[in-house]
Chains A and B, each alone.
Chain A
Amino acid sequence: MSATTAPDHVAAPVLPDVLPPIKQRGKVMGFVHRHPTIVIGGVLVGIMILIAIFAPYLGTKDPTALAPARRTREPSAMYWFGTDMLGRDVYSRVLYGTRVSLLVGFSVAILAAIVGTFIGLVSGFVRKLDAVIMRCMDGLMSIPSILLAIALMALTRASVQNVIVAIAVAEFPRVARLVRGVVLSLREQPYVEAAIASGTRVPVIIWRHILPNTLAPLMVQATFICASAMITEATLSFIGAGTPPIIPSWGNIMAEGRALWQVKPYIVFFPAIFLSITVLAVNLLGDGLRDALDPRLAKRL
């Protein structure tokens, strides 16, 4: 035990960590790591929204200005995406077209969500109306939504509002069915029964207990509707039943470029890329939200 003797034990070599050290991430990086789809989708959607808002300031020209002398030019420094068969600048038209697509997508999502939620709540709470309402919804859903939208557009004048209404009519039964299902399961939840037992009135129960718990699946469904509404809008415009030709929309541009697509593919190509990216982005966002809002997954975190 004296201080002079050499220690009769040798320290064991440092063992490698049994578990790899937990990487410390900041709040932002942590979110990016956990929900990459939300971030990618959100950023892409954000870019599209910015393009739509700032379309006039992004080096665009008047998207409807005709220049017959300079028609069907290849993409160049002057015409980034080339010009179409009437000499209009495709770059400007595609960027302005973002406005129509996003407007239609978001409006349809919001409109369908509101109408569908209302009908779903009525159906879930008023048992007598349930069978009748849901058979009507089944009827609406049995018609392919694009056909229904075409039929509705055939009845009215071509305008962006009518496109929105036509697509929303085709989409809201999906929301109604979803909300009804959620309401029926929430109604049986003990916390709703406890609220009934403690004298809460039905409107308050809906507002305070049912709606907040419906929001998560509703938001996910709304993003998917947003994406499919954009495709439907492009389809309607493509077959000439949608946005009036004077307003540039991706569907219109593609419809006009269709005749030339073998010789001048870029006219169809650029709006198609924008449409694909936007739809992909919205779907990614919806996918990510579904994962993030799923309470079973949330508990694990």
Chain B
Amino acid sequence: MSTERPLLEVNGLKKHFPIRGGLLGQETARVYAVDGVTFDVRRGETLSIVGESGCGKSTVGRAILRLFDITEGEVYLSGERIDNMPATRLRPIRQRVQVVFQDPFSSLNPRMRVRDILAEPIRNFGLAKNRRDLNEKVEALMDKVRLPRDAVGRFPHEFSGGQRQRIGIARALAPGADLIICDEAVSALDVSVKAQIINLLADLQDELGLALLFISHDLATVEHLTHRVAVMYLGKIVEVADRRTLFAEPHHPYTRALLSAVPVPDPTAKRQRIILKGDVPSPINPPSGCRFHTRCPFVFDRCRVEEPILRHVGSAPGHSSACHLDEVPGGPVVPD
């Protein structure tokens, strides 16, 4: 392991959204969207954040992008703290962190041509010397995402979903970013297109040494392109491990429940299914103790009062889980 600082470090990130009501708009409640999340992403690495909808995974991505101010915690990019940086000094940071959104239809301005969409970040960061240079850079981007060069004069609605997502990726590549946050970047695409986009992302990562923060709810997709996985539940990370470890020996009951829900293309396979009951509790009023205790099949008294912390488990390096069961001698109780 190198001693170099990771590209992105997130320490104890919290984002609470106030709910305002009443005549004067005073705060009446809070949504604990992200409540203390710590992880890092190394250069050229893919970290996936997985979880159900509403678990706060997108909020993490948007907080790193500084689309809003965070409530608590620290975010470092190459050792430089960016979460409290004034907006005026943020531009060089913005050049290094880019985003690809889920919906390829709303992520491109319908009234702009592809050329202008791709030229916008290049112009913003003053990366082109003149008009010709700009055009060349735009065309090079089209090549990178395997789109025909002559399509730059078209409007987004003339493209299919997968092609639009390529344009979105090209825009994220335009400023020469180190980290690209893929916020459910392939969730809206159908299976064959999804595979193409994932392969494209993997190729680009090899080619350009990009780090990807891949936010997804789809474990099967994640398994194909990630190095490490962080599982989120209700604003907290419950388990982090490298891909192989997570899929082979998941520790946290929630991770196991998620994995058992991934379909296996074998109708005769008999599997241990963990079926979770009920819905994710409201992040406005999260459960006490372990946040998962309301749905956990292995819940016991301690879970209801004491919050488990993320600690190292198992034999693989970098495998942590937040569950009281891990403290039980002999590891977690796996029911047969």
Pair A197/B94 contact, Cβ less than 8 Å: yes
Pair A198/B112 contact, Cβ less than 8 Å: no
Are A197 and B120 CB-contacts (below 8 A) given A191-B107, A191-B108, A213-B109? no
Are A194 and B25 CB-contacts (below 8 A) given A189-B106, A295-B110? no
Question: Is B174's beta carbon under 8 Å from chain A?
Answer: yes
B116-154 interface code vs A (CB 8 A; 1 in, 0 out): 000011001100000000000000000000000000000
Chain A residue nearest to B92 in the complex (CB): A199
Pair B67/A193 contact, Cβ less than 8 Å: yes
Give the chain B neighbours of A209 by CB distance below 8 A: 109, 112
Q: How far is the CB of A204 from chain B (nearest CB, A)?
A: 8
Question: Is A148's beta carbon under 8 Å from chain B?
Answer: no
Question: Is A208's beta carbon under 8 Å from chain B?
Answer: yes
CB < 8 Å neighbour of B98 from A131, A189, A197, A212 = A197
Give the chain A neighbours of B95 by CB distance below 8 A: 199
Q: How far is the CB of B89 from chain A (nearest CB, A)?
A: 12
Question: Is A195's beta carbon under 8 Å from chain B?
Answer: yes
Give the chain A neighbours of B121 by CB distance below 8 A: 198-200
Are A197 and B97 CB-contacts (below 8 A) given A190-B103, A208-B112, A212-B111? yes
A-B contact count (CB 8 A): 64
Question: Is A25's beta carbon under 8 Å from chain B?
Answer: no
Chain B residue nearest to A191 in the complex (CB): B109
Give the chain A neighbours of B30 by CB distance below 8 A: none
Q: Once bound together, how far apart are the Cα atoms of A197 and B62, in whole Å? A: 9
Most buried by B among A198, A199, A208: A198
Give the chain A neighbours of B259 by CB distance below 8 A: none
Question: Is A9's beta carbon under 8 Å from chain B?
Answer: no
Give the chain B neighbours of A197 by CB distance below 8 A: 65, 67, 94, 97-99
Q: Once bound together, how far apart are the Cα atoms of A200 and B112, in whole Å? A: 15
Pair A190/B107 contact, Cβ less than 8 Å: yes
Pair A198/B111 contact, Cβ less than 8 Å: no
Pair B101/A190 contact, Cβ less than 8 Å: yes
Pair A198/B109 contact, Cβ less than 8 Å: no
Q: Once bound together, how far apart are the Cα atoms of A299 and B105, in whole Å? A: 12
Question: Is B157's beta carbon under 8 Å from chain A?
Answer: yes
Question: Is A58's beta carbon under 8 Å from chain B?
Answer: no
A193-236 interface code vs B (CB 8 A; 1 in, 0 out): 11111111100000011001100000000000000000000000
Q: Once bound together, how far apart are the Cα atoms of A194 and B182, in whole Å? A: 12
Q: How far is the CB of A142 from chain B (nearest CB, A)?
A: 17
Give the chain B neighbours of A212 by CB distance below 8 A: 109, 111
In the complex, 5 of the A-B residue pairs with CB atoms within 8 angstroms, ordered by the A residue number, are A190-B101, A194-B99, A194-B172, A195-B109, A198-B124
Extra contacts besides A190-B103, A194-B99, A199-B91 (7): CB < 8 Å: A131-B25, A190-B107, A191-B109, A194-B172, A197-B94, A197-B98, A209-B112
